[in-house]
Amino acid sequence: MHVHFVDARFSYRSTTPHVLTLGMFDGVHVGHAALLRRAVCAAEERGLEPAVVTFTPHPRAVLGDRGFLRMLTPLRERLALFRSLGLRRAYVLHYTPEFARISADDFRDTWLPALGAKHVVLGEDFRYGAGRRGDPDHLRAGAAFTVEVVPSVPEDVRGMRAEGGGSSSISPVGAKVPKVSSRRVRALLAAGEVAEAARLLGRPYALEGVVVPGEGRGRELGFPTANLLVVEPYVFPRRGVYAAWAALGDGRQGAVGSRPAAQEERRIPAVVNVGVRPTVDGSRERVEAHLLDFSGELYGVHIRLELVAYLREERRFPGLRALAEQIALDVAFARKHFV
C-alpha cells in the first residue's frame, strides 16, 4: 500500500483516479471495516484504485480534547489494517489548527479532486470542513465526483470482522439501536469489558511494544514477566489483570503500514498486568506480561498483547508472598480462557 503524507500547504496532486473513502477510522471497528470494504468493492466495479483518506493526529486532540491524544489504533496499526482490507493507497492528512480552518467548500472542491476522487464512499455521520459544516448532502451538491453514503452498523451486528473475510452486508440503524462507534469501544475498554470491545472491533483489542529489561521482580516471585515498552500512543484499558494472547514477532520494527505476517508470529497464552504495581512501587504506568509455559529470552522482541478477558482489578497486597499467591491464582484462572 502506498502512503502519502499531506499537510495544509497542499502541494500534492494525485495522477491516479480513485474511489476514496474518508474518516478518522480510530479502532477500525466493524462499522469502519464495512465502509472500507464497500470502497474496495466500488473501486473494483469501476476499474479504479481504492484509497483511504485519514488524519493524524486526531482532530479532536488538535481542537483541545486531550483524551484523544491516545488512540485505539495508532497510525502504524491503522494503516496495516487498511492494507489488510484491500486498500491500495492511503492519504494521511496532517491535522493542524490551520487545517481545521479549511472550509467545507474548499475541502470538497479543491482537496478531494486533487487527491484523485472520482467516486467517494463515506459514512452517514462523516463531517468535514471548518465547524464540521460539511456533510453527505453538502458533498453531493456541486461535487465533481459521485458520492455513495453507507449506513452505520448497529451494535448488535454479528459475523463481521475487521480483518478480511466476514459478512459485507450492512444493516441500517433503527431509531433505538446504538451504533458501533470508536467512542463506545473506548468506554468499554475503560470499564475493562475487553470481550465486548473485541466484538465491536472484530478482533481483540491489543497493545504493542518491545520487551525491555525490568527489575527482575517477577522472576524473584516465580513468575518472570516481559516488560513492554509501549511507544505508540495507545488507549490503555482499565487498570488490572487480563488474560491475553502474546503474539511474538522477530523484534524488528516494520515499515509504516505493515505488521508481522501470521506465519512470522508465535502466539502464547499470557497473564498481563496493566497498571502501576501498587505492591512494589506504585509509580508509572506499566504493561507487564507473564507468558504461560514459556522459557526463553525476550529482550528486544516485538510483542502484541491481545486482551481476551479482564480477570481482576489491580490492588495492593500486604507483601510479596501474598502477591505471588495471587499471581498463581491469576494464572490458573487465565488458563480457563485458553482451553
Residues 223 and 124 in one domain: no
Q: Which amino acid, residue 21?
A: T
Per-residue confidence (pLDDT) for residue 116, from 0 to 100:
94
* Residue 18 shares a structural domain with residue 148: yes
* Residue in 12, 16, 25, 31 with CA at minimum distance from that of residue 52: 25
Assign residue 247 the CATH number of its domain. 2.40.30.30
- Residues 72/185, Cβ–Cβ less than 8 Å: yes
292, 267 contact by CB (below 8 A): no
Is a pLDDT exceeding 90 seen at residue 191?
yes
| Mean pLDDT, rounded, for 261-269 | 73
Q: Are residues 155 and 51 in the same domain?
A: yes
Is 41 found in the same domain as 139? yes
Q: Are 75 and 56 in contact (CB under 8 A)?
A: yes
Tell me if 188 is assigned to some domain: no
More confident call, 256 vs 108: 108
Boundaries of domain holding 149: 2-160
Amino acid sitting at position 100: A
Share of the chain above pLDDT 70, in %: 85
**Total-model pTM:** 0.86
With respect to residue 297, please indicate whether it lies within any of the assigned structural domains. yes
**pLDDT > 90: percent of the chain:** 67
Q: Read off the pLDDT of residues 112-152 as tens digits, 9 standing for 90 and up.
A: 999 999 999 999 999 999 999 999 999 999 778 999 999 98
Strand order in the sheet with 117-123: 2-6, 89-94, 49-56, 18-22, 117-123, 146-150
Q: Is position 140 within any domain?
A: yes
User: Does 209 reside within a domain?
Assistant: yes
Q: What is the CATH number of the domain that holds 38?
A: 3.40.50.620
Residue-wise pLDDT for 295-332, tens only, equals 888 999 999 999 999 999 988 887 788 888 888 999 99
pLDDT, one tens digit per residue, over 176-186 is: 557 899 999 99
Cα–Cα distance measured from residue 75 to residue 79, given in angstroms and rounded to the nearest whole number: 6
The answer to the question of residue 176 being in a domain is no
Give the number of domains in the chain. Answer: 2
Q: Which amino acid is at 217?
A: R
Q: Are residues 147 and 267 in the same domain?
A: no
**Of 160, 186, 212, which residue is a domain's last?**
160
